[in-house]
Structure 1
Amino acid sequence: MLGNSPGPFRVGVLALANDQVIERDLARLLPPEVLTFTTRIAFGGDCTMEQLAKMAPQLAEAAQLLNPEVALDAVIFGCTSGTIAIGPETIRDAIQSVRPGALAVNPVEAASGALRHLGSRRINLVTPYEPEIAARMAAQFEAAGFAINRRYDFGITASEDISRVQPEAILEAAARLGGEGAEATFISCTDFQSLDVLERIETKTGIPAVSSNQAMAWDILASLGVANGVPGYGRLLSGIPS
């Protein structure tokens, strides 16, 4: 006998073809009542603004492929630098052109909302990117009303190398920036293995640490009214507002 589809909440994920981290992180951060469905967007090679912008024409079709017979509560675009290259408004328009009832979530706006929720306006920024993308990322946050206190960039160009950066290296980079003069650390990129070291970064720096995937999980949980906290992954998720 047929019944209702499983799960009260359904979230689609548009992940880059070579992202090895986002699905694992979201599976750990979202509770069982939030089901996720993932499709992939073609991407590879060098991580440059030009290459990232080429994903824009794929977004609507990819969003349409996300379990097309099921209504989704939200759709995540899983690329922080891609959000900078394409633009949050363009991403939102593409997703909602085929998923008009779904909340469109991206890492940049989710992180901005998370930082405001924490009361953090002056931030340290850790990125895996080469200088042009890192500078554009910093400029985006400055345009949104944040001040960049200090910044550390790993300078990676080959996109497949981002997920190979070890968590301890990310911890060391954030700790090197410290906490003096800053109110939070933002660690950019959905393919960065930062989730497991967020609380250690907070301990070493004395300020909250926010990552791309953690911020999107927070945005989803807060927007859907799933109010239970997610311990072990930083102050942001220690309590979710209903």
Structure 2
Amino acid sequence: MAQQFETDQGYGDHAALGLIVLSTDETMEPELSGVFGPARVPVYHSRLPSQADVTPETLAQMEADLPASAALLPQGVSFGAIGYGCTSGATIIGEDRVAACVHTSHEGVPVTNPMSAVMAACRALGAEKIGFLTPYVADVSAAMRNLLEDNGFAITGFASFEEGREKVVARIAEKSVLTAVEELGQGDCDLVFASCTNLRAFNIIEQAEARINKPVISSNSALAWHLAHLAGRKVPGPGRLFAL
């Protein structure tokens, strides 16, 4: 005889989050687990095919694959927000197109991406002048700089590791990120932004802020904060951004 049972909302209540992660990304999930795990916010992941080398052409290809990856997020969950986890990809594809791709299977759910999240974080922190660190090759970095400037932000300092291979970006030492952030923080900026979801920065944010006495955000910290904000949740995280 079948055992009787009751049902409830499960883990996928209204505060659940969706996250579309690049197949080459090794950093986002470990960093964001420290934000959403302690707050007991359920996060459902899907992977998106991505190439080993970051170029405008490989980034643009993600747009074609994004609807299918979004559709792999569970349909029975009431998502509070869904994030597409690629800073440079969001720059090339565009905020509206990213949202449209996700909405093909999750209509009406708030959608964000690292670039939209970074701009929201800068506005929340009152920052207009940005010290900007990337790991990217020149043409990818230039596209991101242009997008930030088109949205009213001034790039007052810039540095790049000029590395196009995702596997290498994920292995750039945190001390190298800290050194670059500190150097940028000495300039005429309100805030330092370390770009790329595959660049490890979570563990240096608070140390860097203490040294330069300015806010420091990364692609992952901004995305985590914005996802939680859109879903109406307060979560712990590194740096001044999460104190807002």
TM-score (norm 2): 0.93
Distance 2:223 2:185 in 1: 24
Letter in 2 for 1:22: M
Pairwise CA distance, 1:97 = 2.0
Letter in 2 for 1:234: G
Q: Does 1:86 align with 2:78?
A: no
Pairwise CA distance, 1:7 = 5.2
* Residue aligned with 2:134, SS: strand
Contact 2:185 2:191 in 1 (8 A): no
Contact 2:90 2:113 in 1 (8 A): yes
Match of 2:71 among 64, 72, 78: 64
Contact 2:87 2:196 in 1 (8 A): yes
Query: 203-212 or 145-154: which moved more?
Result: 203-212
* Residue aligned with 1:164, SS: coil
1:14-25 aligned within 5 A: 14-25=20-31
Distance 1:86 1:29 in 2: 27
Q: Does 1:127 align with 2:134?
A: yes
Query: 190-199 or 201-210: which moved more?
Result: 201-210
Number of the residue aligned with 1:100: 107
1:4-23 aligned within 5 A: 4-6=9-11, 8=13, 9-23=15-29
Number of the residue aligned with 2:240: 235
Contact 2:166 2:198 in 1 (8 A): no
Cα RMSD for the two superposed structures: 1.4
Contact 1:107 1:216 in 2 (8 A): yes
* Residue aligned with 2:42, SS: strand
Pairwise CA distance, 1:180 = 3.1
Pairwise CA distance, 1:72 = 1.8
Larger relative contact order, structure 1 or 2 (CA cutoff 8 Å, min sep 6): 2
Distance 1:157 1:33 in 2: 35
Distance 1:208 1:179 in 2: 12
TM-score (norm 1): 0.94
Pairwise CA distance, 1:71 = 2.6
Contact 1:179 1:206 in 2 (8 A): no
* Residue aligned with 2:118, SS: helix
5+ residue gaps, structure 1, are none
* Residue aligned with 1:156, SS: coil
Contact 2:80 2:230 in 1 (8 A): no
**Runs of 4 or more off by more than 3 Å in structure 1?**
none
* Residue aligned with 2:160, SS: strand
Deviations 1:50-106 (A, max 9, x none): 011001011111111101232322111000011111111110111112111311110
Contact 2:196 2:219 in 1 (8 A): yes
Distance 2:9 2:231 in 1: 19
Number of the residue aligned with 1:117: 124
Pairwise CA distance, 1:227 = 3.2
* Residue aligned with 1:186, SS: strand
Contact 2:197 2:219 in 1 (8 A): yes
Distance 2:149 2:198 in 1: 23
Letter in 2 for 1:21: T
Distance 1:180 1:157 in 2: 26
Distance 1:61 1:165 in 2: 31
Distance 1:62 1:235 in 2: 33
Match of 2:33 among 11, 27, 37: 27
Distance 2:9 2:130 in 1: 45
Number of the residue aligned with 2:45: 38
Distance 1:58 1:219 in 2: 24
Contact 1:44 1:160 in 2 (8 A): no
Q: Does 1:166 align with 2:173?
A: yes
Number of residue pairs aligned between Structure 1 and Structure 2: 237
